[in-house]
Chains A and B, each alone.
Chain A
Amino acid sequence: MSKQPAAVVGIGQTHHRAKRVDVSMAGLCREAIDRALADASMTFDDIDAIVVGKAPDLFEGVMMPELYLAEALGAAGKPLLRVHTAGSVGGSTAIVAASLVQSGVHKRVLTVAFEKQSESNAMWALSVPVPFIMPVHAGAGGYFAPHVRSYIRRSGAPTHIGAMVAAKDRQNALKNPYAHLHNKDTTVETVLASQMLWDPIRYDETCPSSDGACALVIADADTAASIDNPAWIHATAMRSEPTTAAERDQVNPQAGRDAAAYLWKQAGITDPRAEIDAVEMYVPFSWFEPMWLENLGFAGEGEGWRLTESGVTAMDGDLPVNCSGGVLSSNPIGASGMLRFAEAALQVRGQAGAHQVDGVRRALGHAYGGGSQFFAMWVVGAEPPAL
Chain B
Amino acid sequence: MVGFAQRQMAEFDGSPTMVELLVPLFAELYEQTGFTRKDIGFWCSGSSDYLAGRSFSFVSAVDAIGALPPVAESHVEMDAAWALYEAWVKIQTGEIDTALVYGFGKSSAGVLRRTLALQLDPYTMTPLWPDTVSLAGLQARLGIEAGLWDEATMAAVAQRSLTDAQDNPHAVRRGGSSVEELLARPMYADPLRKHDCAPVTDGASALVLAADDRARESCERPAWIGGIAHNVDPLHLGARELTSSPSSRRAGDAAGLDGIEIAELHAPFTHQELVLRESFGLRADVRISPSGGALAGNPMFTAGLNRIGEAASRIHSGEATRVMGHATSGPLLQQNLVCVMDGATK
Interface residues, chain A, with chain B CB atoms under 8 Å away? 1-4, 24-25, 54-65, 67-68, 70-71, 75-86, 92, 96, 99-100, 102-105, 125-126, 128, 130, 237-243, 245, 248, 253-255, 258-259, 370, 373-374
B234 and A71 within 8 A (CB): yes
A83 and B75 within 8 A (CB): yes
B83-116 vs A, Cβ < 8 Å mask (1 yes, 0 no):
0011001101111000000000000000000011
A240-B232 contact in complex given A62-B118, A63-B50, A100-B89, C-beta closer than 8 Å: no
B335 and A83 within 8 A (CB): no
Query: Of B74, B118, B121, B246, which is in contact with the most chain A CB atoms at under 10 Å from its CB?
Result: B74
Q: Is B68 an interface residue (CB 8 A)?
A: yes
By Cβ-Cβ distance, the 3 closest A-B pairs, closest first, are A103-B92, A56-B55, A255-B70
* Closest-CB distance, A20 to chain B (whole angstroms): 15
A70 and B334 within 8 A (CB): yes
B58 and A84 within 8 A (CB): yes
A84 and B232 within 8 A (CB): no
Q: Is B188 an interface residue (CB 8 A)?
A: no
A86 and B69 within 8 A (CB): no
B56 and A86 within 8 A (CB): yes
A residues in contact with B239, CB < 8 Å:
71, 76
A64 and B330 within 8 A (CB): yes
B residues in contact with A126, CB < 8 Å:
55-56
Interface residues, chain B, with chain A CB atoms under 8 Å away? 43, 48-50, 53-56, 58-60, 62-63, 67-78, 82, 85-86, 89-90, 92-95, 115-116, 118-123, 125-126, 211, 229-236, 239, 246-247, 250, 329-331, 334-335
B122 and A238 within 8 A (CB): no
B residues in contact with A105, CB < 8 Å:
89, 92
A85 and B74 within 8 A (CB): yes
A61-B118 contact in complex given A71-B235, A84-B77, A242-B67, C-beta closer than 8 Å: yes
A67 and B335 within 8 A (CB): yes
B77 and A83 within 8 A (CB): yes
A residues in contact with B247, CB < 8 Å:
77
How distant is the Cα of A373 from the Cα of B94 in the complex, in angstroms? 25
A243-B59 contact in complex given A63-B50, A78-B231, C-beta closer than 8 Å: yes
A57 and B48 within 8 A (CB): yes
Interface CB pairs A-B, < 8 A, 6: A58-B55, A76-B234, A83-B77, A103-B90, A103-B93, A241-B62
A62 and B122 within 8 A (CB): yes
B70 and A81 within 8 A (CB): no
B residues in contact with A75, CB < 8 Å:
232
How distant is the Cα of A255 from the Cα of B43 in the complex, in angstroms? 14
- Across the interface, name the chain A residue whose C-beta is closest to B124: A68
A82 and B76 within 8 A (CB): yes
Query: Of B77, B120, B246, B250, which is in contact with the most chain A CB atoms at under 10 Å from its CB?
Result: B77
B122 and A65 within 8 A (CB): yes
How distant is the Cα of A245 from the Cα of B60 in the complex, in angstroms? 11
How distant is the Cα of A293 from the Cα of B73 in the complex, in angstroms? 23
B residues in contact with A103, CB < 8 Å:
89-90, 92-93
A239 and B70 within 8 A (CB): yes
B122 and A61 within 8 A (CB): yes
Query: Of A81, A237, A259, which is in contact with the most chain B CB atoms at under 10 Å from its CB?
Result: A81
Q: Which of B75, B93, B116, B233 contacts A85 (CB 8 A)?
A: B75
A79 and B73 within 8 A (CB): no
A residues in contact with B250, CB < 8 Å:
77
How distant is the Cα of A348 from the Cα of B43 in the complex, in angstroms? 31
* Closest-CB distance, A374 to chain B (whole angstroms): 8
How distant is the Cα of A10 from the Cα of B74 in the complex, in angstroms? 24
How distant is the Cα of A373 from the Cα of B58 in the complex, in angstroms? 13
B93 and A125 within 8 A (CB): no
Q: Which of A57, A84, A248 contacts B68 (CB 8 A)?
A: A248
* Closest-CB distance, A156 to chain B (whole angstroms): 27
How distant is the Cα of A125 from the Cα of B57 in the complex, in angstroms? 12
* Closest-CB distance, B19 to chain A (whole angstroms): 11
* Closest-CB distance, A278 to chain B (whole angstroms): 25
